[in-house]
Structure 1
Amino acid sequence: MESAKPSNKTLVFIQGSGSIPLFCKTENTIIPMLPLELTKIVKKWNLNLVLVAPPGVECVEDSLILDQNYYKTDVNGWPIMKYRQGNRLDLYVKRYLSVLDHLSESNSNREFYVFGHSQGSRVAAVLANQNSTIKKIALASVNPISRSHEAISKIRLQHLSGEVTFEKSQALIEKEYKRMRVLNRKENKNLEELSELSYTYPSLLEHILILNQPLRFIYGSHDLGTVMEADKIMLSFIEKGKSNLSTKVYNNMEHNFYEGDKYNWDQVFEDTINWFFNEN
C-alpha cells in the first residue's frame, strides 16, 4: 500500500504467527485484520507501507472460509498446509528479501524501516542482517531467547503468583526440558517441529547483537512471555559496548498491547513511526 505522494521511505510491517489474511471480506465491507488505521498512517507520514500475507493466505480472504478467529484452516481445524510448509524462519526471510529486492529495483534510493511483532520480530532481525538498505529496526513483543523459554517463564510466574504449586511448576518445567531434548534428537521432524526449531536456534538475542543499525525493543509490562527476559537484551548490548539499542515499555499492556479492554496498537504504531522518522 503506497502513499499518494512519492516517497523513498518504506515501512515494512511484519506481523506475528498465524494463517490470518491482511484483510477479511464480509458481505458488506472489507475489514483490516491489523488493528491499525492504515490509510491515516500512510498519509500522515508520507510513506510506503509494505504488508505481506502469510504463506498460502491471500491478502484478502472471504470471511466464510475463515474460522471464528479469522484463521484460514483445513477441515480439521489445522492451519492450511501451505502455511504449515512455509512457516519457517528461513523461508519467511527469503520472501521478504525478495520483496525488498523488487522494491529496490524500482527505486535505488529507497530507505527501508522494519517493524516486527512477535514471531515477526524474529523475521525482522534476520532480515536486517541480510539487507543493508534497512535503516532502523523495531522489534515488539518477543522473547529474546525462544518460545520454549517463554513457556518456562510463564510457568515460573504462575508459581510466584500462587497459581500453581512449586511441585507442579517444576514438573511442568522438567516436562518442557524433556520435550526440547527429544525434539533436538529427533531425526524425522514434522512441519511444526521444523518451524519451532527454525525460530529457536540461533536465539533472537544472537541475531540482534550483530546488528549495527538503530534498534528499538518494544513490549508491554504485562506481556508475561517477554517481560521476564526483556532486560537481558539491554544488558547484553551494554556488555558488548553497543549503544544502538533503545527500549520502550508500555505499562499494564500485554502481548498485543491490550490494557484491559482497551486496544492500544495505534498508539504503539504512532510512537514507533515517530522513532523511525523523527529521531537520529
Structure 2
Amino acid sequence: MTNAPWLACPNRRFRADVLAGLSLPQKRLPAKYFYDAAGSRLFDEITELGEYYPTRTELTIMTAHAREMAARCGPRCLLIELGAGSLTKVRLLLDRLDQPAAYAPVDVSGEHLRAAATALAVDYPALDITPVVADFTTSFELPSVPADRRVVYFPGSTIGNFDPHEADALLRRVARIVGPGGGLLLGVDLRKDITVLERAYNDAAGVTAAFNRNLLVRINRELGANFVPDTFRHLAFYNRDQSRIEMHLVSTIEQRVRVGSATFDFRAGESIHTENSYKYSVSELAARVAACGMRLDETWTDAQNYFAVLHLTAQ
C-alpha cells in the first residue's frame, strides 16, 4: 500500500491484466489498479489512521531533515515525484529547494492528481507545476525545461510494492530518467516488530478493508464484472520468509464470478492476492541500489528506526 501510488491505464490493458491475474493458480490482481478516484481517497484516509505509521513517520523525518534533503537535490533541479498522490510531503521539500526549475508529479489517478496539482499551484504560484498522468513503470514524457539536475522523489515506501526483480528494474529506470549525477530521494519502510506491521494493514475502522475491496468495485464498474465485494474479506499478514506484508481478498463462499464474457470459480477460502509491501534494511537496500547503478549518499531515519529516507546518486 502506498501513498502514492499510479495512473489509470486504458480499459484494454486493465481487462487483460485482470483476466490474466484471475487465471493464475493463485489468483492475483496488480496493486496499481487500487488507485481510481475512490481508491485514492480511501488511501488518503488510511494515511491518517492511528495504526498506519508510515506516513506520519516519514513526515516526521521530512520535517526534521528537509533542509538537508533539499541541499542534496541542489539548485535549479527538476523535481519528479513518482506516485505523487495528494502532494503532501513534497511541500516540505518545495519550501526549501533553491529555485527549483519545475515540479512534475506523476500518478496513475488522473482526477486525483489534477485536483491536487491545482491546489498546490495556489500555494506555489511561481513554480512551474506540470502533472503527468501516467503509469510510472512504463515510458512517459517529462516536461522539457532547462534544469541543472533531475531528481526523482519517490516517497511512501512505494518501492516495497514491487517484487525484488521489479524493484531493480524500476531503480534502473530511475537512473536512466535522472541521468549520471542525477538524484533519487527514496522513502523506505524498514523491518520491525511484526505486531506493528500487521496492525498497520488491519485497522480497526476497516478503511484498509474498504480500500482492498474497492478494487472489485472498480472491476465491476469498468469491466462489466459481477463481483459481490461483501462476499470477500480483507486479509493482511506478514510473510516472514519473504519479508513482506501480503494483502488478499478471501472469498467467504463458493461462487462463480463473471468478468465480461469470462467466468472464474472461487472455492470458499480461496484468495486473490492484491498487494505486497516488502520491508527492507538500509544495508540490504544499499547493496540493491548499487547493483542498479546508484550510490547511497545519505540516510535519515526516525528515533524508532521504523522508516528511512535515502538520497541516492546515479552513476
Q: Does 1 or 2 have the higher relative contact order (CA < 8 Å, sep 6+)?
A: 2
Structure that is richer in helix per residue = 1
- TM-score when scaled to structure 1? 0.37
Structure that is richer in strand per residue = 2
- TM-score when scaled to structure 2? 0.34
